[in-house]
Homo-oligomer: A and B are copies of this chain.
């Protein structure tokens, strides 16, 4: 097949680097341009990406590619992957959508807009219906599709099968989030070594509202939010990649632990049915060892490395309506770059590109 041209916006940060790693050899997509802020623009990528942090070297073809401005006239491609900071994304992504581009965005700027789909392909692909609403509302030739916050994604993928099978009353989540989630330069080494920072700006609100939107149902052209209650406490820990979340779930129906493991383990969605290139065979992997999941051992889980969420310590709480578990997902792969790519693959497979 002829590959589809794509441009990467925000190419120098941690998510931008992962996007390059994931798209560089992609069977469907072809990187035609990479864009970043003025500070990086017109530099060669190898000079702009001074903080390249991945074990894989910068791909040869990308090394000497010149970074352009985040301007549709410079990027060329109709499909753009955005890993822009949220404040910049607000304006820039609109600029692209206006002129007909399809923006698969990891930025938070548009996630909670009523007419913008916030999609995890395994969880709520039907929310793509909002694309038409969005184009009509805004008069855009193109459109924006967003994926959730890195912490939301792992959680929503685990809550979805539980919600469908047992109902959700309340969810309490305490996170232990990796340093890479803070981007670059991100958290100073001096402040995170031998330490925990029990606060991540705006994060808890994102995790709460995004989960309710994603698990909501489309009705009359908008999302009716899910109605369970949720409390979140976010912490930064000295781990490089992989967000760990301990989850206390109060279900509506009594829950059997083995049944819960079964619905988690068997959970799959359109990406698996459509056999999308970045879809792992199992979106959720359930482990039975008492001391798993662990970020260093499980963050790269999945037949597509880093695209599966790993769940462990599935157990009952103090009554039969309480299910406790721990989950880990790779924050810059499934939680960011991979989410962008999988969304784009879904758009393509559903002929929405």
Contact = CB atoms under 8 A, between A and B. Distances in A.
Interface of A: 14, 51, 53-55, 172, 174, 176, 179-180, 182, 184-199, 229-231, 233, 235, 237-240, 244, 246, 248, 290-297, 299-300, 312-313, 317-319, 322, 324, 326
B246 A190 contact: no
Contacts of A318: 229-231
A196 B297 CA distance: 10
A329 to B, nearest CB: 13
Nearest to A228: B318
A195 B313 CA distance: 17
- Closest 3 interchain pairs by CB? A174-B174, A189-B192, A233-B246
A233 B191 contact: no
A307 to B, nearest CB: 14
Contacts of A174: 174, 233, 246, 248
A242 to B, nearest CB: 8
Given A190-B14, A229-B319, A318-B229, A196 B294 contact: yes
Q: Give how many copies assemble into the complex.
A: 4
A179 B198 contact: no
Q: Which of A176, A196, A292 has the most CB of B within 10 A?
A: A196
A82 to B, nearest CB: 21
A179 to B, nearest CB: 5
A188 B238 contact: no
A78 to B, nearest CB: 33
Q: Which of A54, A190, A230, A312 has the most CB of B within 10 A?
A: A190
Contacts of A190: 14, 51, 53, 179-180, 182, 184-187, 240
A294 B296 CA distance: 19
Given A185-B185, A190-B180, A244 B196 contact: yes
A239 B184 contact: no
B194 A194 contact: yes
18 contacts: A51-B190, A51-B191, A53-B190, A53-B297, A172-B172, A176-B176, A187-B189, A188-B188, A189-B192, A194-B194, A195-B294, A196-B239, A196-B295, A198-B244, A198-B291, A198-B312, A199-B290, A199-B313
Contact of A188 (B186, B199, B300, B312): B186
Contacts of A192: 189, 193
Contacts of A182: 189-190
A55 B296 contact: yes
Given A195-B294, A198-B246, 16 more contacts: A53-B191, A55-B296, A55-B299, A172-B172, A174-B233, A174-B248, A179-B193, A186-B189, A189-B189, A190-B240, A193-B240, A194-B194, A197-B294, A198-B293, A199-B290, A229-B319
Contacts of A184: 188, 190-191
Contacts of A299: 55
B188 A296 contact: no
B238 A246 contact: no
